[in-house]
Amino acid sequence: MSEQTARICILGGGFGGLYTALRLSQFPWQPLPKPEIILVDQSDRFLFSPLLYELLTGELQSWEIAPPFEELLQDTGVRFYQASVAGIDIEQKRVHLQEGPELGYDRLVLALGGETPLDMIPGAPSHAYTFRTITDAYRLEERLRILEESQADKIRVAIVGAGYSGVELACKLADRLGPKGRFRLIELADQILRTSPEFNRQAADKALKERGVFIDLETKVVSVGQDTISLEYKGQVDVIPVDLVIWTTGTQVAPVVRNLALKQNQRGQVTTKPTLQVLDHPEIFALGDLADCRDAQGQQVPATAQAALQQADYAAWNIWATLTRRPLLPFRYQHLGEMMTLGVDNATFSGLGIQIEGSLAYVFRRLAYLYRLPTLDHKLKVGFHWLVRPIIETLSK
């Protein structure tokens, strides 16, 4: 590796990783030579995960929310490797890829996101469906198609976890399946959306009731079978027949990160300074789901998409600052509100002094996410498609 040219390795192409790479590619590096920026992800596509639900209802197409990395990184100078990370040697500053070369680094960004843990519940790894990646969405779509084409008079769906993902999935799928769908939303806590603003919780409760979704609170999943789910409520276990179980609760850090000799919390998240640098390793930055971060005000940073987006700007600046001898900036998290989709043409937003629900919130959410898409070129393509699609659909009728 040339001493004059630094290498920045970014592991994970989600909100934290991709947006850090894009931001780094835009900084002025003169008189230093521009560093080599490498982005690694096991998928060939970036996923704008808050819009993943719209794939199941046909409101959006996969190219809109999951553009290829090669397309997004074109003309940025960022090199992309599609590979899984096999190991990281933090002493030798090297990354080992399963399907690629060994990479040395001067700066490392850990942004591998999280995984949905299924192995704690008997039968869940074999029979439950997760909903985190584009592959998960394709797999779930295929299962739904088979169920819809069957001769069954009803389709029984159990969704585990009544957080944002569980509630949004329940509403979208209820709209898709219509009267044929039978839904159970299973939650260990005593209320849905436990960390959500009251306005959003009330709007979600109303949307679920309108769609006939049955909610099991203070209920624990004991096991998952091929066509059953066993639930425990107040010491009594009931076996419920189901056609589909979707697991949305829990996040765990990838083993390749948990195995590193870095300070971690009980959940395996890597502890960082407010500058997003890992303790005792200032050349390593951690952000997103795998980071245990308190910002400049000492507030715990949530593991959300909006937090990862904000962290990406600071991580890029601080990496640039460490290489160009400029002052680093402590991360300052700004909570910009919370949005949820609650079915087709229905959403809710609470934040910035605004509380709206229904069709207006649905449009607001779409526009907010359009603004957050990763590149100007992709924003223009998607925005134009959203404008002309209603016209095309009207003309084709």
One digit per residue, the tens of pLDDT, for the chain of length 397 reads 445 789 999 999 999 999 999 999 999 988 888 999 999 999 999 999 999 999 999 999 999 999 999 999 999 999 999 999 999 999 999 999 998 789 999 999 999 998 888 988 999 999 999 999 999 999 999 999 999 999 889 999 999 999 999 999 999 999 999 999 999 999 999 999 998 889 999 999 999 999 999 999 999 999 999 999 999 999 999 999 999 999 999 889 989 999 999 999 998 999 999 999 999 999 999 999 999 999 999 999 998 899 999 999 999 999 999 999 999 999 999 988 899 999 999 999 998 888 999 999 999 999 999 999 999 999 999 999 998 877 776 666 6
Residue 1: predicted pLDDT:
42
Gap between the Cα atoms of 329 and 322, Å rounded? 11
**CB within 8 Å of 136: residues ≥ 6 apart:** 129, 130
C-beta of residue 145 within 8 angstroms of C-beta of residue 170: no
What separation in angstroms does the CA of 124 have from each of 44, 119, 226?
A: 27, 7, 9
CATH number, span 124-247:
3.50.50.60
Residue 396: predicted pLDDT:
66
The class that CATH gives domain 7-42+83-115+252-324 is alpha beta
Which helix (H) or strand (E) segment holds residue 177: the answer is helix 164-177
pTM, full prediction: 0.92
Gap between the Cα atoms of 139 and 313, Å rounded? 33
CATH 3.50.50.60 positions along the chain are 7-42+83-115+252-324, 124-247
Residue in the structure block whose two tokens are 């083993």: 255
C-beta of residue 287 within 8 angstroms of C-beta of residue 276: yes
User: Going edge to edge, which strands form the sheet with 181-186?
Assistant: 128-130, 244-247, 155-160, 181-186, 214-216
Greatest C-alpha distance within the chain: 70
Gap between the Cα atoms of 86 and 255, Å rounded? 10
Residue 389: predicted pLDDT:
79
